Amino acid sequence: MKTLLLIDDSRSARMMFKHWVITARPGLQVLEAGDGLQALEVLASLKGETVVFMDHNMPGVHGLDLARQLLEFVPANRLVMCTATIGTEIATKVEAMGMHYLAKPINPAKLVKTLEELGL
């Protein structure tokens, strides 16, 4: 089974995102993590294909630092950085790492387009 891990410190954002994913891709397993450390624990326990959507701004380990740690578990092309911090610097760094970039606010159409780009 394919798994999507959503990392965001906002519970309401995770709930909305999860609802959209399950509606668009009912066969996809969606897991959540509220911070980077929890995400690393979840990923360490997973087997099979996993895609990660992650918020950039979170307390503790966040952003590109967290993304570098996640690369131990998931290839860069399976990581999607989601952020309201729209700027060419972050987008350029994300793309240079081989990751995907999704600007917030996210809506169902943008999400579905990204899922399709990821082959989900």
Report the CATH number that the domain containing residue 99 is assigned in CATH: 3.40.50.2300
Stretch (H or E) spanning 23: helix 11-24
Q: Calculate the CA 54 to chain-centre distance.
A: 3
Its pTM surpasses 0.85: yes
Tell me the C-alpha distance between 9 and 24, whole Å: 23
Nearest to 75 by CA among 93, 55, 94, 98: 98
Cα atoms found within 13 Å of the Cα of residue 5, Cβ hemisphere only = 27
Residue-number span of the structural domain to which 97 is assigned: 3-117
Q: Compute the residue count for the chain.
A: 120
Q: What are the pLDDT tens digits along the chain (120 aa)?
A: 799 999 999 999 999 999 999 999 999 999 999 999 999 999 999 988 899 999 988 888 778 899 999 999 999 999 999 988 766 788 888 889 999 988 888 999 999 999 999 999
Domain count, the chain: 1
